[in-house]
Chain A
């Protein structure tokens, strides 16, 4: 009888632990999803600003047709990406082109004096900062979640309810390179 009581108590405690672990993991996973959505919002915001930037710069510098097509393709990839990491990857390339377009301001004093260009430059810079911050917070949230699903006793609940490990948003090797203006991209 006593053994049965002890067994029942142990089972009840295990169930309580499992439910509590499951709830914690769901909370953490929702936070990861939420922060992922925050990164997407910022990436899309930047992608939406790019056409305006190109329109503004068009009057001062002529673009290669392929450049415009590439930008449109990258923008579409960011807007319709299936996951945050895909959107982030496409955005990294788009960001590079964007920096090159912004750097044109140095070569064209009239462009630098254009209020629309200056406003866009400021907005893009602000969005860039927000992307960086959102990515850092996303990575921290993912780290917390990944740690939780690997550490005992929550790993038991994670295994039972199939909580999957999430990937961090890492800087692509190409993004680490210093930005340089490519004379083939733009004709002055």
Chain B
């Protein structure tokens, strides 16, 4: 079977980040409000003095510009952190579709609520998974609830021999009343071990504990001869280029040496007065990037492996972004001087309408666009530098030491189809606990797949009453 496409579970772990992302828009909104409050008086006076659409447009434009300048940095930082968290959360919730079906209607025989939960996002969410398990035990007649909302194991439980260890652990501790409702790591570990033992998931760090899959039994392929030849050819071309470029690189020496008694500005002006020097600099960077490309170029197509954080491969894109910024900033400096010179001719105090007329000069307008674009680009880079540690932390929190096996992936696709089916074809989101007799396992699936949150809340409320 050939993988067709990727499917992602819409779960609370991803919804949480999407909510944060929506809330992030409050930053520009707050900045807009702040700017509006600060400049309302002046804007109002200007509009009274020069009523018209041009003045209004000018006021709106300046408000938006102010808002952007104020909010762009915190917005970028927040966006980067949230995106990093969302990306890693989505990774956990994404499966490779093999059969490409949207709905699955049959019962998920053999899958416990905890295993279903693990298959969806590689994690046991104790609150809902325990609620779903209790619902299932009650439906099967293994567990019953007393009037005071405590639980007891029924005689059927004692005669039932085919229960998993995690089920026995949960039922017994619920009966004794010593189950840790907040975070029972032992139950979680048991559920995880069972999912590994049944071959649904595999441990990344301890592969010897996993069931062997077809994938792991396949011999690892090395780089074939053809690939090596391509790499060798590229390396030869690069060496020829280097030999050809070496005299030009030597000529770059003035760029790195500042003559005594020369300021940096004078030095930069000297460099800009020689455009060929800049071209040589670009060639040197291109040589460096080509060298990196050849070193990491792998002509064999093999499944993508996750990049280690901070690896040189992962750094290549940021490096290119910074180099482009550097090149752009350097080339923009002389234009900036002209731009500043024009700005200096601007009146010290001007109304919005006067400012709009002043800025409508074509040369100034182009300069403004470039300044704004360069400002956004610079903020984008600075925000990445500032947000790198919180973003890595968000990614680390979502990083899992387990992955789905091929078999687990197939089962996860069935679970995905079941979630869609329950979502589109039922009103189980409003069903209550007593309806488990009517809906049987489907209500259990609705709880564990986050389609019904009321039952989780109901069970949690009863637990609080007991405590």
Residue pair B105, A136 in contact (C-beta under 8 Å): no
Residue pair B442, A133 in contact (C-beta under 8 Å): yes
Q: Which of B105, B424, B428, B438 contacts A38 (CB 8 A)?
A: B105
B400-426 vs A, CB cutoff 8 Å, 1 = contact: the mask equals 000000000000000000000000111
Residue pair B105, A140 in contact (C-beta under 8 Å): no
B426-445 vs A, CB cutoff 8 Å, 1 = contact: the mask equals 11100000000011101000
| Bound Cα distance from A136 to B164, whole angstroms | 31
User: CB-CB < 8 A to B428: which residues of A?
Assistant: 140
Shortest beta-carbon distance from A105 to chain B in Å: 24
Residue A155 at the chain B interface, CB threshold 8 Å: no
- Chain B contact residues (Cβ within 8 angstroms of A): what range? 10 to 19
Shortest beta-carbon distance from A40 to chain B in Å: 14
Residue pair B425, A31 in contact (C-beta under 8 Å): yes
User: CB-CB < 8 A to A186: which residues of B?
Assistant: none
With both beta carbons as reference points, the residue of chain A lying nearest to B431 in the complex is identified as A140
Residue pair B424, A136 in contact (C-beta under 8 Å): no
User: CB-CB < 8 A to B427: which residues of A?
Assistant: 140, 143-144
Residue pair B442, A140 in contact (C-beta under 8 Å): no
How many residue pairs between the two chains, A and B, have CB atoms under 8 Å in the bound complex? Answer: 20
Residue A84 at the chain B interface, CB threshold 8 Å: no
With both beta carbons as reference points, the residue of chain B lying nearest to A27 in the complex is identified as B424
| Bound Cα distance from A38 to B425, whole angstroms | 12
Shortest beta-carbon distance from B71 to chain A in Å: 28
Shortest beta-carbon distance from B454 to chain A in Å: 16
Shortest beta-carbon distance from B427 to chain A in Å: 5
List residues 96-123 of chain B with CB under 8 A from any CB of chain A: 105
| Bound Cα distance from A133 to B439, whole angstroms | 7
Give the interface centre of B424, B425, B427, B428 by most chain A CB atoms within 10 Å.
Answer: B425
User: CB-CB < 8 A to A31: which residues of B?
Assistant: 424-425
With both beta carbons as reference points, the residue of chain B lying nearest to A132 in the complex is identified as B438
| Bound Cα distance from A136 to B427, whole angstroms | 10
Shortest beta-carbon distance from A166 to chain B in Å: 14
| Bound Cα distance from A61 to B442, whole angstroms | 39
| Bound Cα distance from A140 to B426, whole angstroms | 5
Shortest beta-carbon distance from B104 to chain A in Å: 13
User: CB-CB < 8 A to A141: which residues of B?
Assistant: 425-426
List residues 57-85 of chain A with CB under 8 A from any CB of chain B: none
User: CB-CB < 8 A to B440: which residues of A?
Assistant: 133
Residue A35 at the chain B interface, CB threshold 8 Å: yes
Shortest beta-carbon distance from A100 to chain B in Å: 25
With both beta carbons as reference points, the residue of chain A lying nearest to B435 in the complex is identified as A136
Shortest beta-carbon distance from A134 to chain B in Å: 8
User: CB-CB < 8 A to A137: which residues of B?
Assistant: 425-426
| Bound Cα distance from A143 to B440, whole angstroms | 20
Shortest beta-carbon distance from A41 to chain B in Å: 10
Residue pair A35, B442 in contact (C-beta under 8 Å): no
| Bound Cα distance from A156 to B442, whole angstroms | 34
User: CB-CB < 8 A to B442: which residues of A?
Assistant: 133
| Bound Cα distance from A140 to B424, whole angstroms | 10
List residues 126-146 of chain A with CB under 8 A from any CB of chain B: 133, 136-137, 140-141, 143-144
With both beta carbons as reference points, the residue of chain B lying nearest to A133 in the complex is identified as B442
Give the interface centre of A31, A140, A141 by most chain B CB atoms within 10 Å.
Answer: A140
With both beta carbons as reference points, the residue of chain B lying nearest to A144 in the complex is identified as B427
With both beta carbons as reference points, the residue of chain A lying nearest to B438 in the complex is identified as A136
With both beta carbons as reference points, the residue of chain B lying nearest to A147 in the complex is identified as B427
User: CB-CB < 8 A to A143: which residues of B?
Assistant: 427
Shortest beta-carbon distance from A139 to chain B in Å: 9
| Bound Cα distance from A43 to B192, whole angstroms | 40
User: CB-CB < 8 A to B424: which residues of A?
Assistant: 31
Shortest beta-carbon distance from A123 to chain B in Å: 15
Shortest beta-carbon distance from A135 to chain B in Å: 11
| Bound Cα distance from A35 to B428, whole angstroms | 16
User: CB-CB < 8 A to B105: which residues of A?
Assistant: 38
User: CB-CB < 8 A to A35: which residues of B?
Assistant: 425
> What are 18 contact pairs spanning A and B, CB under 8 A?
A31-B424, A31-B425, A38-B105, A133-B439, A133-B440, A133-B442, A136-B426, A136-B438, A136-B439, A137-B426, A140-B425, A140-B426, A140-B427, A140-B428, A141-B425, A141-B426, A143-B427, A144-B427
The residues of A with any CB-CB pair to B shorter than 8 Å are: 31, 35, 38, 133, 136-137, 140-141, 143-144
9 A-B pairs closest in CB distance: A140-B426, A140-B427, A137-B425, A141-B425, A137-B426, A35-B425, A31-B424, A143-B427, A31-B425
Additional A-B contact list (4), CB under 8 Å, known A133-B442, A140-B428 = A31-B424, A35-B425, A38-B105, A144-B427
